[in-house]
Amino acid sequence: MRYNIAMVSDFFYPQPGGIESHIYQLSSKLISLGHSVIIITHAHGSRVGVRYLTHGLKVYYVPFYVLYRESTFPSVFSFFPILRNILIREEIEIVHGHGSLSSLCHEAILHSRTMGLRTVFTDHSLFGFADPGSILGNKMLKFTLSDIGHVICVSHTCKENTVLRASLDPVTVSVIPNAVVASNFRPDPFKASSEYITIIVISRLYPNKGADLLTAVIPNICKIHPTVRFIIAGSGPREIDLEQMREKFQLQERVELVGSIRHEDVRDVMVKGHIYLHPTLTEAFGTVLVEAASCGLLVVTTKVGGIPEVLPSHMTIFSSPSEDSLTQSTLEAIKLIESKAVDTSKFHEQVKGMYGWHDVARRTENVYDIVAKIDNEPVIDRLKRYYGCGIWAGKLFVMCVVIDYLLLRFLEWLYPESGIDRVRKWPRRPIDKPLLAGENSESAKIESEDEDSGLGGTTAMP
Amino acid sequence: MSPTTTTTAITSAGLTVRRTTPTTTAVKYTISNKPTRRTFGSFLRIGYRTFCALLFLFLLLHRAVPLSTTVPLPLTHYTIHAAQQFTISTSSSVHNSSIDVPLIFAAVFLAVSFLPREYTEESILVLHDFGIQVSSTGKTRLSRTSQFIPLELIQDVVLNEGFRGFSVIYFLAVVVKGRGRLLVVFPNLLPQREILEEIWRDIRSRMHQHPVSLSVGSNTYIE
């Protein structure tokens, strides 16, 4: 079954990040599986309008007010008119939202459900329960996920977290981990120095990402082990603390601060090292660990969040998120590298076999198959779900949904569906079946039947 | 035998699309939202305009020719009375230098009622090997803006999508070298995708075709 899918999120290219590349890679692979995918995001700077990425991936940069860190203003209804127009003209069947912090995603899910479309939500991060920001955020998530087709989480820990935050039935939540493009992260054993053990750290230098832990651990390791070197890439508020630590302990030659780097340059930084250090205090999945293992680095990481699910135990050394434990684990890793007890040259092939975007796309396709079979329930049943969200919140949410329906009727009168031009879709690709052992690529590609989407044939565009 | 061939189509949105080929190497698409059906309202409007035109003509004649020689009309009595009221001198012929208020009143009245154009008409004329001319009409019956772009300055003619208010629409645009902005064809009418596709294909095929045989002296072009 081929679907018309819309990915909605505030977070997309040109802004770099994990969610952004996840959306892009997943969409590309879904297109190669024969589906039609568009992406809806808000305008970034002067980038407004309709753009095309490779393989006909269409991106709508909607002019919208950006509030903080590329997340748009959380108004509940203002996105409806333009979203309805885009969903109708593209003949969308499934709306897939990404990111709990993206207000565009929440709005899109609400409005698509009002219009009767199927929805899927992917959660990429972990959240707490105690602080006021989390409480409000979780209530918002509960609102959105009261009526959703299916939820995807990137790890089992993330699934637990999301189920608890939004009070979901775990059956409606699937775990589909992230993946990496392994060919972009090939090891190069000659790049790393043979005299010093080099430890790489690539992270945003925020306290929750472990920058404070890093600042504490580096001097200890450098004191105990006289020849180890550090390369730290990334920027953030704790960069100053790292520089001060470097000055204080006279580690200028041994600790190199590269600053922020682009995602394309990550591999070049990684191959310069032997060990990858990940001192984070919270992590839903940790794609960077997979990237590091693919580059042939031994991974030392704190055992938090979804990290234990990511790599097999022979590739990682775990520690608890405390200074002593992390120092201990790092020294253990250095010893293993020095004594050549670990052979990191095989890591790349193993990682290539474990993670691939094609696999993620196939599993996501299964989720879409599940979602497509769900029938739309009557409005009153839908309102009942929202009513159960809380004593006060339930009533508020029901009111929001009712206003949404009234808004839909109003928009149907103001901008009738007959006045909206349907889009001519990018020609569908032949279905790409995954290569089995021994098959070559010619026999694996299957020509698809040309499903007429009602636009007069799949003649190519210009 | 006229070489011009015209095809007209009426779209679902009430737009009239007319395609003419003034010469074998030129094609002109004219799109207008002029109402094609005669409704009662349009009759009223036509009647009103005719009345204003006749009134203007009458007042002009009334001023240009002295009263005694005009054909007595039922309205003459009224106009004499009005003229006597408003003109400074008692004689009602045109050679006095008084401010002719009725005439001014009539002229303004007619300008307001006759000159506005209720419909918009926009066109694109494609001259093979020469250029493209786009034009659109304005608010009054006398105004029309046209723009010619020579072939050397045309980088491409594209069918693009863009945001307009709360919707995303298709529009036909010319990418002109040296200008930062796209030149939108049919900027006020903005017809639907089907019409634009047809026009776009026609323009592209004409811009990229080369005459297969060109024999001097016999003007044969094979399209």
Tens of pLDDT, residues B191-213: 999 999 999 999 988 877 654 43
Over residues B33-39, the mean pLDDT reads 80
Picking from A38, A61, A79, A89 by the largest number of B CB atoms within 10 A of its own CB, the best residue to mutate is: A89
Mean pLDDT computed over B80-85: 57
Percent of chain B with pLDDT over 70: 72
pLDDT at B216: 41
A85 contacts B193? CB cut-off 8 A: no
Cα of A90 to nearest chain B Cα, Å: 10
Q: Which residues, including other chains, have CB under 8 Å from residue B88's CB and lie 6 or more apart? A: B96, B98, B99
* Residue B155 touches chain A, beta carbons under 8 Å: no
Q: Which two tokens stand for residue A385?
A: 């779900």
Instruction: Tell me the average pLDDT across B24-34.
Output: 90
Classify each residue of A257-287 as buried b or exposed e, where b means 16 or more C-beta atoms within 10 Å of its C-beta: bbeeeeeeebbebbbbbbbbbbbbbbbbbbb
Indicate the range of A193-207, A378-392, B74-88, B142-156 predicted with least confidence: B74-88
pLDDT tens-digit readout, A30-65? 999 999 999 999 998 888 999 999 888 999 999 876
Please judge whether B163 and A82 are an interchain contact, meaning their C-beta atoms are less than 8 angstroms apart. Answer: yes
How many Cα atoms sit within 13 Å of A67 on the Cβ side?
Answer: 10
| Nearest CA distance, B3 vs chain A (angstrom) | 30
- Asked if B212 has any chain A CB less than 8 Å from its own CB, the reply is no
- What average pLDDT does range B85-92 have in this prediction? 48
pLDDT at B81: 58
For chain A, the residue count is 462
Chain B nearest-CA residue for A58: B161
pLDDT of residue A460: 36
Hey, is the C-beta of B14 within 8 angstroms of any chain A C-beta? no
Q: Exposed e or buried b for every residue in A377-387, given b needs 16+ CB within 10 A?
A: eeeeebbebbe
How many angstroms separate the Cα of B43 from the Cα of each of B36, B54, B142? Answer: 12, 16, 22
Across B176-190, average pLDDT: 91
| DSSP single-letter state for residue A44 | B
Cβ distance A85 to B167 less than 8 Å, yes or no, reads yes
Place of tokens 């044969």: B220
The CA distance from A415 to the nearest CA of chain B, in Å, is 9
Q: Which two tokens stand for residue A312?
A: 């097999």
pLDDT of residue B170: 94
CA distance A116 to A93: 9
Which residues on A lie below 8 Å from B164 (Cβ)?
Answer: none
Backbone angles phi, psi at A339, to 5 degrees: -85, 0
Note the pLDDT of residue B172: 95
Q: Using CA atoms, how far apart are residues A388 and A390, in angstroms rounded to an integer? A: 6
**Which pLDDT score, from 0 to 100, does residue B83 have?**
55
Chain A interface, Cβ < 8 Å to B = 48-50, 60, 62-63, 81-82, 85-86, 89, 415, 418-424, 462
pLDDT of residue A303: 93
Cβ of B161 and A50 within 8 Å?
yes
**Contact between chains at B193 and A422 (C-beta distance less than 8 A):** yes
Q: Which of B160, B162, B166 faces A85 most closely, judged by CB atoms? A: B166
**Which residues are paired to B133 by β-bridges?**
B125, B148
Q: Does the distance separating the beta carbons of B166 and A421 come in below 8 Å?
A: no
The region of weakest confidence among A28-32, A177-181, B31-35, B111-115 is B111-115
Q: Which of B166, B193, B204 sits opposite A421 (nearest CB)?
A: B193
Interface touch B163/A86, C-beta < 8 Å = no
Q: Does B167 touch chain A (CB under 8 A)?
A: yes
Q: Tell whether B164 lies on the interface with A, counting CB pairs under 8 A.
A: no
Residue A81: list chain B partners with CB under 8 A.
166-167
Q: Nearest CB to A63: which of B163, B167, B169?
A: B163
Mean pLDDT of chain B: 77
**The pLDDT value given to residue B142:** 76
Q: What residue of B is the nearest CA neighbor of A43?
A: B163
| pLDDT of residue B182 exceeding 70 | yes
Question: Is residue B4 less than 8 Å (CB to CB) from chain A?
Answer: no
- What pLDDT score does B85 carry? 57
CA distance A130 to B158: 54
Establish if B193 touches chain A: CB-CB under 8 angstroms. Answer: yes
Nearest by CB to B162, from A50, A419, A420: name it.
A50
The pLDDT assigned to A67 comes to 57
Q: Is B161 on the interface with A (CB under 8 A)?
A: yes
CB-based contact, B202 to chain A, within 8 Å: no
Contact B168 A415 (CB under 8 A): no
DSSP letters, chain B, are -----EEEEE-TTS-EEEEE-SSTTEEEEEEE----S--HHHHHHHHHHHHHHHHHHHHHHHHHS-GGGSPP-TTHHHHHHHHHHHSSSS--STTS-S--HHHHHHHHHHHHHHSB-SS-EEEEEEETTTEEEEEEE-SBTT-EEEEEEEGGGEEEEEEEEEEETTEEEEEEEEEETT-SS-EEESTTT---HHHHHHHHHHHHHHHH---S---TTTT----
B170–A contact, CB cutoff 8 A: yes
Quick check: B162 and A60 CB within 8 A?
no
CB contact under 8 A, A49 and B161: yes
End-to-end distance of chain B based on CA atoms, in angstroms?
A: 19
- Residues of chain B contacting residue A48, judged by C-beta atoms under 8 Å apart: 163
A423 vs B contacts (CB less than 8 Å)? 161, 193
- In the predicted model, residues of chain A with pLDDT beneath 70 are 65-74, 430-462
ipTM greater than 0.85: no
| Chain A interface mutation, best of B156, B164, B167, B192, highest count of A Cβ atoms under 10 Å | B167
